Amino acid sequence: MSVFVILPAAGIGTRMASTTGGSPKQFLALKGLPILIHSLQAFLAEPRVTAIYVSVRESEHARVAELIAEHKLSGKVHVVTGGDTRQDSVANALAALPSTSPDDIVLVHDAVRPLIDTATIARTIAAIEKHGAAIVATPAIDTIKQVERTADGALITATIPRELIVHAQTPQGARVPLLRKAFAEAAADEFVGTDESSLLERANIPVFVVSGSSRNFKVTQPGDLEIAEFYLAG
């Protein structure tokens, strides 16, 4: 059995653009290293990971290849061309996986979640081995309201019990054939989901939830880098 990892990193990060000079989030420095390198190193620390495929814009190929070589990660890390959407980027990498066994596993992780820990990665792999598909998520803490959008704003229509809600994180993954099936069905119907789990759910593939943590957050806006540095400082 092989364990593959896909890091979609073709996004521009418009919410951070005004504070980064237009540089994509995955290349921003965090404790002296690009965020992308932190994410790669986290998965390479898990011995069961066979290979990692990074999906990037074609114009960033050389830059990412140089980073991989500079940090001596070339053995297991490969670069593929991403697409216009996250789903396209993951699909391109999924097609490139040299998977030969129905037992092979693939994990998809946001390149800008640099604080994922090895223990959570290992638990996700174990959950996929047992259940076929799994995602990392955290319990809902705040009260969750369902709303209806109106011309004057949102109108509450229901309160959803918190025990029925989790906040999805990454990695999200499945046996390779299951995720390929989910992606193929979505492509055939021109369906675009918000994450891999939404495609698996749509294909009637049960998805198990692995407990995550607040550390495993996504760097999306100004101020997130300072929070990440705080966590890294212990």
pLDDT of residue 222: 81
pLDDT for residue 234: 77
Residue-wise pLDDT for 75-90, tens only, equals 899 999 999 999 999 9
pLDDT confidence of residue 233: 86
CATH of residue 43: 3.90.550.10
Closest CA to 76 of 61, 97, 56: 97
* C-alpha pair distances (Å), 210 with each of 8, 39, 54, 198, 221: 21, 19, 23, 16, 26
CA distance 65 to 54: 10
**Domain of residue 195, residue span:** 3-232
Domain count, the chain: 1
**pLDDT score for 18:** 47
The reported pTM is: 0.93
Q: Which residues of the chain have pLDDT under 70?
A: 12-22
pLDDT for 142: 93
pLDDT score recorded for residue 21: 57
